[in-house]
Amino acid sequence: YGTSAINEAGHLEIGGCDTVELAKKYGTPLYVYDVALIRERARGFKETFDRLNVKAQVAYASKAFSSIAMVQLAAEEGLSLDVVSAGELYTALAAGFPTEKIHFHGNNKSEEELKMALEHKVGCIVVDNFSELSLLEEVCSEQKTQMSVLLRVTPGIEAHTHDYILTGQEDSKFGFDLQNGQAEKALLAAADSPWIDLLGIHCHIGSQIFDTTGFVLAAEKIMEKLNEWSKKHHFEPKVLNLGGGFGIRYTAEDDPIPPARYVEEIITKVKEESIRYGLEMPEIWIEPGRSLVGDSGTTLYEAGSQKDVPNVRKYIAVDGGMNDNIRPALYDAKYEAVLANRANDPKEELVSIAGKCCESGDMLIWDIHLPQVQKGDLLAVFCTGAYGYSMANNYNRIPRPPVVFVENGRDVLVVRRESLKDIIHLDMPLNANAGNYS
Ligand code: LLP
């Protein structure tokens, strides 16, 4: 993975930093991000568009991992930014991200969120449904401001991934249905409004998708409608945003295609269809999250207690778990790991890695071959860069781990560890009894 290597001491090294040293310096659990790998992924997408000579925007879907430093890194790499809430927008503002390159998503944006987006002049709002369309019009007319808009459509595609992260199928909470006339109605309403500058169409079919079929099919269906709409309503979009969702390799069993291939095939399809229908080739926007940051993240844990269930399995508990990575419990997601302090030792034992929460489902990895694990060993779980920290929680009042960026032998703390004080900082006492703590 990226700049990972094993050094002379037999320790796992990332970005030229020894993970054993990182664990000593910052404690565990600890998220470590390989910054060079994020840059490589971002450049990979951009180079593909350049090579194919297509006008594009690559927006980082910040839901995958949002923090001020991460947003600043996205800005350094010339990415646009997809935000889905006031919180993600606020983070972008705090990071000094160019607001004209922010795309605001979400299926239930509040009036406050829309006002905030307008006030800060975000690049566009991705409108999801009719209530939002009228709310946006109201807010825009109140503030006498025009807003650029993409309409999110649901093309009726069943991509093959986990049900919870499927979004393009007909029965979805997201978007205007493309097939039953909803999208066309939305288009006419938006085109009619003096407050809306209709840039184009958006669609996102799901996440962790391993092949291009769904994307190509979605592009085909949308282009067919665009042809119809250009003839009927003289509408030609400037932008076609095909979302994110490009799958990554979590374990050896996963077999994703290289990220550039998704982009190539999408572009080829849209070009073909544009020529066929005599339409102007739109700008192609994408908004990957996982494929930009997923494999750049590694979580370091310290091994603690062990429990042997004779003839069944051996549990190795670590000092984190579903608090910092809920994906195994939520989606049955699979991960690979190594002993970072003894990375060259033979893997002679089959064990299962448990978290420390009071819940049997708090397992990080079922059945993994590792060297004989001792208390105090350092476990590195790979590919935790997307939807790890961003879905972290304080269940059992466990503080969230810090995040460190590593690059060229340098480590930088970009999110500090939560303290026990942080854990109670929102609590309002019921009476004046002060406990004895500090
Ligand atoms: N655009 C839209 C409109 C989205 O809804 C998403 C993800 C993305 C882009 C970025 O998708 P990506 O490239 O990261 O696959 N928590 C789940 C993933 C939820 C994805 C939600 N939407 C997980 O941990 O697998």
Q: What confidence score (pLDDT) does residue 437 get?
A: 76
Distance 186 CA to ligand 1 centre (A): 24
Which atom of ligand 1 approaches the CA of 202 most closely? 3
Mean pLDDT of 414-431: 96
Which atom of ligand 1 approaches the CA of 167 most closely? 5
- Using CA atoms of 20, 26, 28, 31 in order, give the dihedral in degrees to the nearest 10: -90
Q: What confidence score (pLDDT) does residue 190 get?
A: 97
Which atom of ligand 1 approaches the CA of 333 most closely? 25
Position 369 pLDDT exceeds 90: yes
- Is 186 within 8 Å of 154 (Cβ atoms)? no
Amino acid residing at 37: L
- Answer yes or no: is 289 a known binding residue: yes
Distance 294 CA to ligand 1 centre (A): 11
Measured CA to CA, the distance from residue 139 to residue 44 in angstroms comes to 38
Size of the chain, expressed as the number of residues it contains: 438
From 58, 154, 169, 290, the mutation candidate for ligand 1 (largest count of ligand atoms within 8 A of CB) is 290
Share of the chain above pLDDT 70, in %: 97
Which atom of ligand 1 approaches the CA of 246 most closely? 13
- Answer yes or no: is 327 a known binding residue: yes
Measured CA to CA, the distance from residue 178 to residue 184 in angstroms comes to 7
CA distances from 80 to 1, 20, 65, 101 (A): 25, 35, 15, 5
Distance 286 CA to ligand 1 centre (A): 12
pLDDT classification of 309: cutoffs 50, 70, 90: very high
- Is 34 within 8 Å of 4 (Cβ atoms)? yes
CA distances from 60 to 73, 77, 234, 410, 436 (A): 10, 10, 32, 24, 45
Which atom of ligand 1 approaches the CA of 290 most closely? 14
Distance 206 CA to ligand 1 centre (A): 7
CA distances from 91 to 66, 125, 129, 391, 405 (A): 7, 17, 25, 16, 18
- Answer yes or no: is 245 a known binding residue: yes
- Answer yes or no: is 111 a known binding residue: no
Mean pLDDT of 29-40: 98
* Mean pLDDT score of the chain: 95
Burial bucket for residue 48 (CB in 10 Å: 0-12, 13-18, 19+): buried
Q: In what order do the strands lie in the sheet with 5-6?
A: 5-6, 12-14, 17-18
Q: Name all domains of the chain by residue range, CATH numbers in brackets.
A: 5-33+294-424 (2.40.37.10), 35-290 (3.20.20.10)
Active-site amino acid positions = 358
pLDDT tens digits, 239-268 = 999 999 999 999 999 988 998 999 999 999
Q: What is the DSSP string of 321-388?
A: STTT--HHHHH-----EEETTSTTS---EEEEEE-SSSSTT-EEEEEEEES---TT-EEEEES-SSSS
- Answer yes or no: is 290 a known binding residue: yes
pLDDT classification of 434: cutoffs 50, 70, 90: confident
Closest protein CA for atom 15 of ligand 1? 245
Closest protein CA for atom 23 of ligand 1? 387
Position 140 pLDDT exceeds 50: yes
Query: Is it true that the peptide bond before 29 is cis, omega within 30 degrees of 0?
Result: yes
Q: What confidence score (pLDDT) does residue 435 get?
A: 77
Position 77 pLDDT exceeds 70: yes
pLDDT tens digits, 201-216 = 999 999 999 989 999 9
Q: What confidence score (pLDDT) does residue 436 get?
A: 74
Closest protein CA for atom 24 of ligand 1? 387
Q: What confidence score (pLDDT) does residue 23 get?
A: 98
Share of the chain above pLDDT 90, in %: 92
ipTM of the complex as predicted: 0.99
Supply φ then ψ for residue 176, to 5 degrees.
Answer: -85, 130
The half-sphere exposure of 150 on its side-chain side, counting CA atoms within 13 A, is 31
Q: What confidence score (pLDDT) does residue 159 get?
A: 61
Q: What confidence score (pLDDT) does residue 432 get?
A: 85
Bridge partners, residue 315, by sequence? 307, 352
pLDDT tens digits, 3-25 = 899 999 999 999 999 999 999 99
Closest protein CA for atom 16 of ligand 1? 387
Closest protein CA for atom 6 of ligand 1? 244
Position 139 pLDDT exceeds 60: yes
From 58, 63, 80, the mutation candidate for ligand 1 (largest count of ligand atoms within 8 A of CB) is 63
Position 164 pLDDT exceeds 50: no
Supply φ then ψ for residue 229, to 5 degrees.
Answer: -70, -30
User: CB within 8 A of 166, min separation 6: which ones?
Assistant: 158, 159, 172, 205, 206
pLDDT tens digits, 311-363 = 999 999 999 999 999 999 999 999 999 999 999 999 999 999 999 999 999 99
Distance 328 CA to ligand 1 centre (A): 16
Closest protein CA for atom 19 of ligand 1? 165
- Answer yes or no: is 27 a known binding residue: no
Closest protein CA for atom 22 of ligand 1? 207
Q: 0.80 cut: is pTM over it?
A: yes
Mean pLDDT of 294-315: 97
From 105, 129, 174, 207, the mutation candidate for ligand 1 (largest count of ligand atoms within 8 A of CB) is 207
Q: What are the pocket residues of ligand 1 if the criterion is a CB atom closer than 6 Å to any ligand atom?
A: 61, 63-64, 82, 105, 165, 167, 204, 207-208, 243-246, 287-291, 327, 331, 386-387
